[in-house]
Chain A
């Protein structure tokens, strides 16, 4: 199908156009950031599309003010500028304020990880999971494909919560799931593969990498589990612990700085809280900023998270852990 590979951003904006037609209190605020699909939206709803200019602090503050007046607000900007430039605005006027007043604000940050491959480290975003996870009262989502992004956005706008949706800038294929999960009601994670004694617990773009690694293992007659975890703050912990429990090793895979409180910390805490017996191997981006251009895979390779390196690691683990004496 032609629409299998699609940008999450465009899919999300189309969902918003539909929602704005039926919800007169829904606003889209942009930090002077858009796309051709956005042009359709701003022509259709000029009074509820507000471009605040290149001013992310004000983007958040205005979103908070509108939300306090019972409007639903989507605040849309490039991920690092949204989450890092405006962090204290998010903390004070959204996370803190949400202790007192119900607010429906969906923060949409585009450009997860290295997905702006040519723009360099200012536009790439390896810190957002860390800093957003530091904030209470914030639901964090990192979808790996556009149907999930669309469905999560609808869910977020249907409840009085502050949410952060971390979108990849690249057009990515739809992840095949094992079961017939209803695409319109995502919960926290989905199983992409099961089997073996190793499971790859990935988020966002790394879920696609994990799936490719599992398929290569399958070509060699080996198996590993793959879980796409898209909810990174509030998630179904007991269900996820149940899914991990059968494995001897969990490898967390994130396109974000490692050992800074992102998916790796989530995994370690979960394993600890549920007293799972699996060991955790955390893979992410080692500390440091890397200048220079390249493809996504080249940038990941430069940062030590290339597919070839991961393949060596994963195939070694899968070989060892599939050995008969360990079954």
Chain B
């Protein structure tokens, strides 16, 4: 069977699922401290809305099922919160979650395309929107009902190649392409605004010909509403305002959270687990 029929979990179930993904992400980080946990925690609700909210169509038994929607986690470092979801949906066994970063393990610290459910090489930033543009162009001719969704970080948008792709997508009216910005406003060395400010992303994207809207990126209900909107003839950009290191005291919104690991004792306390 495939999962093309919308799953959608109801709102309480989605919130529960988001809590579970948050906890699993911390567990992954507990075992593999080299993972970029803060960046992964800012996009938990975005991923849950996409995979459980009835938005993305996919078939875990056929990762390259032609009828799937294409999802690119262009902010590769922050995508470890995708792993529990892919395991939960049946792309690979749950036990793979316990082996991240170990020699011979299926799952890597930055997702690789050898992993079922991962479309492209990411981690090198600024590639996903352009590659997604190419996919959307092909699908626009062949199967315009399929969507291409690209998740980027706001820091990643410093890469100029994104803006080349934004221009092309609007020119070709790629309304099957959506970009979600995980706008946690912190890149590796501090607040994005203090490094090279984007000023207003919605204004910029609209000036580039996109339909752009901001949303609280941790509010599942708001995410579902905004994901469901359609804008014929225009690619869509959802600027999801989020908090890096969400839910972890001391990490959340910390300027250097990208390169901060959570101490094992704090993780155990957060998870309510005894080591």
Closest to A99 in B: B113
Contacts A69-B134, A93-B131, A101-B113 given; does A62 touch B165 at CB 8 Å = yes
Decide yes or no whether A53 CB sits under 8 A from chain B. yes
B161:A71 contact, CB within 8 angstroms: no
Q: How many whole Å from B166's CB to the nearest CB in chain A? A: 9
B137:A50 contact, CB within 8 angstroms: yes
Q: How many whole Å from A57's CB to the nearest CB in chain B? A: 4
B131:A71 contact, CB within 8 angstroms: no
B168:A65 contact, CB within 8 angstroms: no
Q: How many whole Å from B126's CB to the nearest CB in chain A? A: 8
Decide yes or no whether A295 CB sits under 8 A from chain B. no
Residue interface bits B160-190, CB-to-A below 8 A is 1, else 0: 1100110110001000000000000000000
> Size band of the A side of the interface?
20 to 34
Q: How far is the CA of A128 from the CA of B188 in the complex (A)?
A: 33
Residues of B within 8 A of A63 (CB): 134
A68:B120 contact, CB within 8 angstroms: yes
Residues of A within 8 A of B112 (CB): 100
B134:A97 contact, CB within 8 angstroms: no
- Contact partner, B135, options A53, A55, A66, Cβ 8 Å: A66
Q: How far is the CA of A271 from the CA of B132 in the complex (A)?
A: 44
Decide yes or no whether B124 CB sits under 8 A from chain A. yes
Decide yes or no whether A67 CB sits under 8 A from chain B. yes
B138:A89 contact, CB within 8 angstroms: no
Residues of B within 8 A of A100 (CB): 112-114, 121
- Contact partner, B131, options A50, A55, A65, Cβ 8 Å: A65
Residue interface bits B29-69, CB-to-A below 8 A is 1, else 0: 00000000000000000000000000000000000000000
A97:B165 contact, CB within 8 angstroms: no
B139:A69 contact, CB within 8 angstroms: yes
Contacts A88-B124, A92-B124, A97-B113 given; does A66 touch B138 at CB 8 Å = yes
- A26-81 contacts to B, CB under 8 A, are 47, 50, 52-53, 55, 57-58, 60-71
Residues of A within 8 A of B139 (CB): 69
Q: How many whole Å from B188's CB to the nearest CB in chain A? A: 18
Residues of B within 8 A of A50 (CB): 137, 172
Q: How many whole Å from A87's CB to the nearest CB in chain B? A: 12
Dominant SS among interface residues on chain B: helix
Decide yes or no whether A191 CB sits under 8 A from chain B. no
Centre residue among A67, A88, A92, A99 by max chain B CB count within 10 A: A92
A62:B161 contact, CB within 8 angstroms: no
Q: How many whole Å from B183's CB to the nearest CB in chain A? A: 22
A65:B121 contact, CB within 8 angstroms: no
Residues of A within 8 A of B132 (CB): 65
Residues of A within 8 A of B219 (CB): none
Residues of A within 8 A of B134 (CB): 61-69
Q: How far is the CA of A89 from the CA of B172 in the complex (A)?
A: 21
Q: How far is the CA of A131 from the CA of B132 in the complex (A)?
A: 26
- Contact partner, B120, options A58, A70, A89, A97, Cβ 8 Å: A97
Q: How far is the CA of A66 from the CA of B135 in the complex (A)?
A: 5
Residue interface bits B125-146, CB-to-A below 8 A is 1, else 0: 0010111111111110110000
Q: How far is the CA of A100 from the CA of B111 in the complex (A)?
A: 13
Decide yes or no whether A241 CB sits under 8 A from chain B. no
Residues of B within 8 A of A97 (CB): 113, 120-121
Q: How far is the CA of A65 from the CA of B138 in the complex (A)?
A: 8
Q: How far is the CA of A50 from the CA of B130 in the complex (A)?
A: 14
- Contact partner, B161, options A58, A66, A96, Cβ 8 Å: A58
B127:A89 contact, CB within 8 angstroms: yes
A62:B124 contact, CB within 8 angstroms: no
A58:B127 contact, CB within 8 angstroms: no
B168:A58 contact, CB within 8 angstroms: yes
Residues of B within 8 A of A92 (CB): 121, 124, 127
A58:B135 contact, CB within 8 angstroms: no
Contacts A53-B164, A57-B160, A71-B138 given; does A93 touch B133 at CB 8 Å = no
B130:A61 contact, CB within 8 angstroms: yes
A62:B137 contact, CB within 8 angstroms: yes
Beyond A96-B121, A97-B120, 19 extra complex contacts between A and B, CB < 8 Å: A52-B164, A53-B167, A55-B168, A57-B130, A58-B168, A61-B161, A61-B165, A62-B134, A62-B165, A63-B134, A64-B130, A64-B131, A65-B137, A66-B135, A69-B134, A69-B142, A93-B120, A93-B130, A100-B121
Chosen A-B contacts, 29 in total, with CB atoms closer than 8 Å, are A50-B137, A52-B168, A53-B164, A53-B167, A55-B167, A55-B168, A57-B130, A58-B130, A58-B165, A61-B131, A61-B165, A62-B133, A64-B134, A65-B134, A65-B138, A66-B134, A66-B135, A66-B138, A69-B138, A69-B142, A70-B138, A89-B130, A93-B127, A93-B131, A96-B121, A97-B120, A97-B121, A100-B113, A100-B114
> Which residues of A line the B interface, CB within 8 A?
47, 50, 52-53, 55, 57-58, 60-71, 88-89, 92-93, 96-97, 99-101
> Which residues of B line the A interface, CB within 8 A?
112-114, 119-121, 124, 127, 129-139, 141-142, 160-161, 164-165, 167-168, 172
Among all A-B residue pairs, the 4 with the closest Cβ atoms: A65-B134, A61-B130, A69-B138, A58-B164
